[in-house]
Amino acid sequence: MRAPLLAMLLAGIVVAPSAARAMQEITTCGAFVRGSATLVADLDCSATDDDAVKLQGRLHLAGFTLTGHPAHAVVRCEKGPCRVEGPGSLRGAAEGVRSDKNTRLIDVIVRDNAGIGVYARKTARLDDASVTGNGGVGVHADKINARGTRFAGNGDDGAHTVRKAQLFECTVSGNLGDGVSSDRLAKVSHYTTVTGNGLDGVDAGRIMVKRAAAVAMNGASPACGVSEACDDLATDRRPIVSFDAVCGTSRDTADGGSWGVCLDD
């Protein structure tokens, strides 16, 4: 009895790899992906009244650009977490990525979308990404964890979270609203720079600026000092600024005045 059983087990080991599903190739707009898929050429879905890709799993852009419809998302993540890997670009839609769960972007450019660049109801993780020139908030999520990412030239805040924003080695510049905003905690560190944004550099319930981060020269909007109070740090609790970090000005949003922790306070 052992020999036939052993033969069956060995047969299963041999057959299993050949039964594995090949990676799906994305060649048409409105594609549904479950598992992994790859873009095989630039794909323009601006005339297709639908999301360019509906994703349950992982999308590889493979160096190409995926253009969406102005009333939909370029990539809509369905049901569970999703992941988009570059190099490559998501552009031209109402939103670059929309997810009701967690989403992760690696080496992806999200640009020139009419609304939010990346929306995640839970956590958005970005590694070596670029979120630029979108009409609304660059990234909006419950939590943001970003490394080596650029948030620039967006029509509202560069990054906004409900609970926690953590930025490491990031650049946040030229956004028309705040550079980084959070209803609770914002932490910028490890050489992150926040500069040249329209309103506050960082506006949050709690702010931590550490490890050679710099938050300075924000408040570029003409409304600053007229209809808006604009500073580099804006919070109702004393911000934590480490000895090796720098900020220009701070504002106590509860009682007025500055916190006396920045160079020009």
Contact 198, 221 (CB under 8 A): yes
Q: Do residues 244 and 142 both lie within one domain?
A: yes
Q: What is the pLDDT of residue 21?
A: 57
Separation between Cα atoms, residue 265 and residue 253, nearest integer Å: 14
Element (H, E) at 204: strand 202-209
Q: Do residues 122 and 205 both lie within one domain?
A: no
Q: Do residues 245 and 214 both lie within one domain?
A: yes
Q: Examine residue 4 and state whether it is found in any structural domain, yes or no.
A: no
User: What single letter denotes the amino acid at residue 153?
Assistant: G
Last residue of a domain, one of 113, 135, 157: 135
Q: Do residues 127 and 54 both lie within one domain?
A: yes
Contact 164, 180 (CB under 8 A): no
Q: Do residues 209 and 192 both lie within one domain?
A: yes
CA-nearest of 92, 100, 3, 22 to 55 is 100
Q: Do residues 152 and 241 both lie within one domain?
A: yes
Q: Do residues 154 and 251 both lie within one domain?
A: yes
Q: Across the 265 residues of the chain, what is the mean pLDDT of every consecutive 10-residue run?
A: 44 41 90 97 98 98 98 95 98 98 98 98 98 98 98 98 98 98 98 98 98 98 97 98 98 98 98
Contact 46, 29 (CB under 8 A): no
Separation between Cα atoms, residue 83 and residue 81, nearest integer Å: 7
Q: Examine residue 197 and state whether it is found in any structural domain, yes or no.
A: yes
| Domain that residue 199 falls in | 138-265
Q: Which two tokens stand for residue 54?
A: 């509906």
Separation between Cα atoms, residue 253 and residue 106, nearest integer Å: 35
Last residue of a domain, one of 115, 135, 155: 135
Contact 99, 79 (CB under 8 A): no
Q: Examine residue 18 and state whether it is found in any structural domain, yes or no.
A: no
Q: What is the pLDDT of residue 22?
A: 74
Q: Do residues 103 and 190 both lie within one domain?
A: no
CA-nearest of 214, 244, 249, 220 to 232 is 249
CA-nearest of 239, 255, 139, 137 to 189 is 239
Q: Examine residue 15 and state whether it is found in any structural domain, yes or no.
A: no
Q: Examine residue 9 and state whether it is found in any structural domain, yes or no.
A: no
Q: Do residues 246 and 156 both lie within one domain?
A: yes
pLDDT digits (tens, 9 = 90+) for 127-185: 999 999 999 999 999 999 999 999 999 999 999 999 999 999 999 999 999 999 999 99
Contact 207, 183 (CB under 8 A): no
Q: Do residues 56 and 151 both lie within one domain?
A: no
Last residue of a domain, one of 107, 135, 163: 135
Contacts of 57 (CB under 8 A, 6+ apart): 33, 34, 35, 36, 37, 82, 83
Q: Do residues 127 and 157 both lie within one domain?
A: no
Contact 67, 43 (CB under 8 A): yes
CA-nearest of 140, 133, 130 to 105 is 130
pLDDT digits (tens, 9 = 90+) for 64-81: 999 999 999 999 999 889
Separation between Cα atoms, residue 232 and residue 220, nearest integer Å: 11
Domains contained in the chain, number: 2
CA-nearest of 31, 34, 25 to 48 is 31
Q: What is the pLDDT of residue 9?
A: 40
Q: Examine residue 3 and state whether it is found in any structural domain, yes or no.
A: no
